[in-house]
Amino acid sequence: MLETETGTMPEQGLSAAEAERRLRDLGPAEPHTSRSTSSIVAGNVFTLFNAIIGVFFILILSLGLFADAIFGLIAVVNSWIGIRQEMKAKETLDRLAVLVAPRAGVIREGTEVELLAEEVVPGDLVRLVPGDQIVADGRVVSSRGLTVDESMLTGESDGVSKTEGDDVFSGGFVLSGSGYCEVTAVRDDSYAGRIAGEARAFRHDPSPLQHEVNRVIVACTWVLVPLAVLQIGSLIVRRVDLVEAAQTATAGLITLIPEGLVLLMSVTFAVAAVKLARRDTLVQQMSATESLASVDTICIDKTGTLTDGNLSLVGIEPAYVTDTKLAGRELGAFASNAGEQNRTLEAIAEEFPGSAERVVDEIVFSSEWKWSGLTFDREEAPRTLVLGAPDVMIESGSLVLPETMAARLESETALGHRVIALARTDQALPAGPEEGPPAGLEPVALVVLSENLRPGVAEALELMRSENVDLKLISGDAKATVVSVATAVGIPEDAGVVVGTDLPDDPDRLAEIVRGNTIFCRIKPEQKKQLVAALSEAGCYTAMIGDGVNDVPALKSSDMAVAMGSGSQVSKSVADVVLLKDEFSRLPEAVAEGRRIARNIHRLGRLYLTKTVYAAALILLVSVPGFAFPFLPRHLTLAALLTIGIPSFVLALAPSDGPLYRGRLLRALGAFALPAGLATALASILSFFLVDGVSGGTLEDGRTAATTTLIVLGLSFVLLLERGPGRDHIAIQSYMLAMVSGLGALFAGILAVTPLREFFGMSMLSADQWFITMLSAALGLVAASLMWRLQFIQDWEATDEEDVPPLER
């Protein structure tokens, strides 16, 4: 036996002397440096928009318009805030990422030590067990049914059997069996390191919200380009002075760009990731928190996910009353000598310790075939023991249980216990597990094991169901066991149950079955993957929650992968979200956080799209015809600060009662923004025209009136962002009223202080001019209200699906 930090482990084909010999040949360990692998990448669209802002910023500075250059400074400040927030989030997440970073069991000086991947050096002897990520290239020196998943390197989904002398590569995962490998290359010198260029080019698919916001930005871009051509062409045709042309073009075109929307998305994702990290939920993909808001179907593994994964032995049922000692002896022999020490064998070995025997043949356990076998070098027969799922061995015709054992099997599975059978035979094991267990097995004993539900599971699942999230329980266990656990967690007794052998090969039929049923038992890993893929192809946004290596194919096929912190390395490495302390109750909190993000981004989208609409209307109605433009860039900068910039950061982080627009964001935002933007543009032009032309005011007076109208309407629409068709019942929250009142007071203070008023190029209006200004703002609100009642606007807002209510924290 080799000593470990936590006890002892079986030899598994490599003696302590051999391990010591290899370790003596290693020499001193190489120095290493721990490096973080997480990164946060800014969006290309955000970079493009800031580049556009920078060009205008430089142009205005070159013309000496320092006051108008404020808007460029604000863009820079916004960018700095966003980058700083993301860097703080990255630091927090990097510290947590160490908890789920790949580790390796390395034999040094005869003792197994657990090291981070960066600490492994060439010549190290690494132990490989199911669920381990292979952290370095190496050559197998000992194998007991070792099977490796190299799909991330080769694209082939089938496991690859590894024997002594075979190479293993970093990036692979151990599926079954066990063994040791001697490290030959690490980090940049490894196979995965040599193809790192391609690996770094890989990017996660954008989340649903990112897809929809991209559509909004593309729509804004299509509006910006022709309007820019029209405005610049109009300025050239009219031979406008360069300084005035720069002011007019900047004032009109910059307002079209929703430059803060992508920035605030990034900031909101980062803040949400940090909030969840403080609740022991690690977000490995920044947009994953928002993606959870789109989840409408959750697929859950049973063992290790709903249950805590710890098995305790309830009892055994020997084939005959007099065979109790025989059953204990054979169970101890099997558990002590099996190459793969899973939780089931650990529970048996704790109750029935055994001595080491020479094993001449072995088939390791896998969720694919659900049994394992050992052939011992014994003089007396029988020499072969088989341990596995009794129903699988019975269905194959290899095993027949006496009536007493069959009755015990039925009663224990009905109680939700896991039951496995130990049998023996004189025959040798088959050449491969696909041939099934050997025929003519003699039953030795049934082993009854129990596992505990995780705290808060039933409550969390009930909360998810109440929020219209469909649940699918998928397990490899027997039907009676799975149904019993399903009942314990609150799944209705009349829920549809399907056994893996009854699943069809036809994709359409499979999709129909998976949509219409809830419980799936005796499911193989590949079938689990097919079920999840069928749900996604049927239009469901599917989350898969698992912990073991057998869950990995399904996790990789899901739209959102969630792993348990105590799960296998491979499951955590492919997950978007990891529940670090295995607290299932954290999942509804994560979904609630995702929905809050989505609602807030939708709310911000209304605000920014309104700005784009009124800017486009101003260009078409004022700039292109050649009328005096009612704003200077500094006016729009001030208006944007008070009605967009400051409110945006509050709205991005505050709770929202608005709807979730799934798959129809652009249309739904347009239902609010088109009336609001047009009304703002028309009211601003009206106040400018009446003050500048009718009341005999100066150009500066007209622009002051237009700016005031714009700010008054902008702040009014901030209060109305939550409201809309069918949402008139939503009350305006007190913090919104306080914020808008404060911003209105700030603008009044700017007008009242002469140096600030002159800096922004505004004047103090007369009483009649104030009346015209406020009347124009009131008419704008009336116009927006009337347009919101138009049928086609109502149709844009309407949806066939009921809006999803917020999850309660």
- State both tokens at 619: 């260009």
Handedness of CA 500, 501, 502, 507 (dihedral sign): positive
Q: Where are the alpha helices (DSSP H) in 437-568?
A: 457-466, 479-488, 507-516, 525-537, 552-557
Stated length of the chain: 809
> What is the signed CA dihedral for 232, 233, 235, 237, rounded to 10 degrees?
160
Q: Is residue 6 classed exposed, middle or buried when 0-12, 13-18 and 19+ CB atoms within 10 A define those classes?
A: exposed
Report the C-alpha gap between 519 and 471 in whole angstroms.
Answer: 9
DSSP state of 478: -
Which residues are tagged catalytic? 301
Pairing state of beta strands 497-499 and 442-453? unpaired
CB atoms < 10 A from the CB of 671, how many?
A: 25
For 130, left (φ over 0), alpha (ψ -120 to 50), or beta?
A: beta
Report the C-alpha gap between 552 and 145 in whole angstroms.
Answer: 20
Angle between helices 208-237 and 259-277 (to 10 degrees): 160
CB atoms < 10 A from the CB of 581, how many?
A: 13
What single letter denotes the amino acid at residue 355?
S
In the numeric block, the tokens 């543009």 are attached to 681
CB atoms < 10 A from the CB of 583, how many?
A: 19
Residue (of 626, 629, 630, 615) closest to 233 by Cα position: 626
Please report the DSSP string for 252-284 in residue order. HHHHH--HHHHHHHHHHHHHHHHHHHTTTEEES
Widest CA span in the chain: 116
Q: What are the angstrom distances between the C-alpha of 81 and each of 77, 264, 584, 643? A: 6, 10, 34, 18
Report the C-alpha gap between 715 and 720 in whole angstroms.
Answer: 9
Residue (of 532, 472, 479) closest to 507 by Cα position: 532
578 forms bridges with which residues in the sheet? 282, 563
SS3 732: coil
Contact by Cβ (8 Å): 191, 148: no
- Phi, psi (deg, nearest 5) at residue 675: -65, -45
Element (H, E) at 447: strand 442-453
